[in-house]
């Protein structure tokens, strides 16, 4: 299966962009895509790890390095964010504490980064006159049962409501929500790959019926770019992406390796949901995505007229176990090969 998010990307030639969490898996892929496809005036990589910034700098083509700036900073630091956002046109907010067990064990740290950090991004963008901001969310933000998901739900609400704070300011905010990213740092693929390389005797499976949504980094980057183009402010964009059982995923990666059921971890769901039945009342369906509409007085879906936007049915729910699109082993391996993902 190949998913293509075909809406045109925004005119980013000559634009200045800032990526929070810019040395993470998504941030690096997004920055490299910007430099390959466009001629941006500046790309600001905003993150707090100097080693990761140094390592990323070495991967930037020599003829593009004059366009890239690396800012040491933390989204918890409002003043530093505001300084970094001066003369910036677009912000992609990818910084977050994302590890579910770590968030459960360190709740205050999760709240400071994912919730207070979201507030800081909003206020800095408003004060500096950024044009558009897109925040990356997660399927765990829908009906959350763990702190990470709850903190990202709060973050989503902050970015949607931020459009009410803009007043006569032209700054607009939207959210992109999607599922597991194939091959990203901390995901199951590199974990399985490490176990296989260390000659483990089996792969741990939390539950034989567990399902997840899957998307590649490249698809995620394209989806954010296209959402940046069509956003009006306040939307939550959700791509139509396939589901796969974790057992089938493990069998595709290591077909001859036994699987051991180890039990669901605290805060983990059997299936993930990206649109709840309650959200369905304000959800539009496009050819390649869903849009949860904001309850904002200024918002109108008139700008989506050319995208064949239509309401979803009553009671609709977009969950990983109720999906119309599924990956089998061959489909997963083709997808990984197409996007250059090792397995």
User: Any idea which residues carry the catalytic annotation?
Assistant: 140
User: Which of 274, 290, 170, 180 lies closest to 227, judged by CA?
Assistant: 290
Compute CA distances 74 → 25, 45, 121, 122, 147, whole Å. Answer: 17, 11, 10, 14, 20
Report the alpha-carbon angle 57-62-64, nearest 5: 85
Compute CA distances 29 → 9, 109, 185, 204, 207, whole Å. Answer: 16, 26, 12, 29, 31
Structure tokens at 117: 């950090």
The order of strands in the sheet holding 180-182 is 180-182, 211-216, 243-245
Are the CB atoms for 125 and 85 separated by under 8 Å?
yes
User: Which of 121, 179, 181, 132 lies closest to 9, judged by CA?
Assistant: 132
Angle between helices 117-128 and 147-165 (to 10 degrees): 20
Q: What is the DSSP string of 288-301?
A: SEEEE----TT--G
Compute CA distances 31 → 17, 99, 131, 340, whole Å. Answer: 9, 23, 18, 17
Q: Using CA atoms, how far apart are residues 58 and 242, in angstroms rounded to an integer? A: 34
Angle between helices 246-253 and 329-338 (to 10 degrees): 60
Q: Using CA atoms, how far apart are residues 153 and 140, in angstroms rounded to an integer? A: 8
Q: Using CA atoms, how far apart are residues 323 and 242, in angstroms rounded to an integer? A: 7
């Amino acid at each position: 299966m190949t998913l293509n998010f075909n809406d045109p990307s925004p005119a980013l030639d000559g634009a200045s962009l800032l990526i929070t969490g810019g040395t993470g898996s998504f941030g690096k892929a997004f920055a490299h895509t910007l430099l390959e496809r466009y001629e941006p005036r500046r790309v600001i990589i905003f993150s707090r790890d100097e080693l990761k910034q140094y390592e990323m700098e070495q991967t930037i083509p020599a003829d593009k390095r004059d366009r890239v700036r690396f800012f040491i900073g933390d989204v918890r630091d409002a003043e530093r964010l505001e300084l970094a956002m001066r003369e910036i046109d677009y912000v992609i907010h990818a910084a977050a504490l994302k590890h579910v067990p770590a968030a459960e064990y360190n709740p205050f740290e999760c709240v400071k980064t994912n919730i207070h950090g979201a507030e800081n991004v909003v206020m800095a963008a408003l004060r500096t006159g950024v044009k558009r901001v897109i925040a990356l969310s997660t399927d765990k933000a829908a009906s959350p049962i763990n702190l990470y998901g709850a903190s990202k739900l709060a973050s989503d609400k902050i970015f949607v409501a931020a459009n009410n704070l803009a007043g006569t300011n032209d700054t607009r905010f939207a959210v992109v929500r999607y599922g597991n990213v194939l091959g990203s740092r901390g995901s199951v693929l590199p974990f399985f790959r490490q176990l296989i390389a260390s000659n483990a005797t089996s792969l741990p499976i939390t539950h034989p019926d567990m399902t997840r949504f899957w998307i590649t980094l490249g698809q995620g980057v394209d989806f954010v770019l296209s959402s940046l183009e069509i956003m009006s402010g306040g939307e939550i964009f959700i791509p139509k992406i396939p589901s796969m059982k974790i057992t089938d995923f493990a069998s595709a990666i290591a077909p001859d390796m036994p699987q051991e059921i180890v039990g669901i971890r605290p805060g983990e769901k059997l299936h993930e949901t990206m649109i709840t039945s309650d959200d369905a009342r304000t959800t539009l369906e496009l050819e390649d995505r869903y849009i949860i509409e904001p309850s904002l007085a200024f918002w109108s879906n008139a700008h989506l007229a050319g995208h064949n936007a239509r309401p979803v049915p009553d009671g609709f729910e977009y969950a990983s176990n109720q999906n119309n699109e599924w990956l089998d082993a061959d489909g997963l391996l083709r997808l990984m090969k197409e996007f250059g993902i090792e397995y």
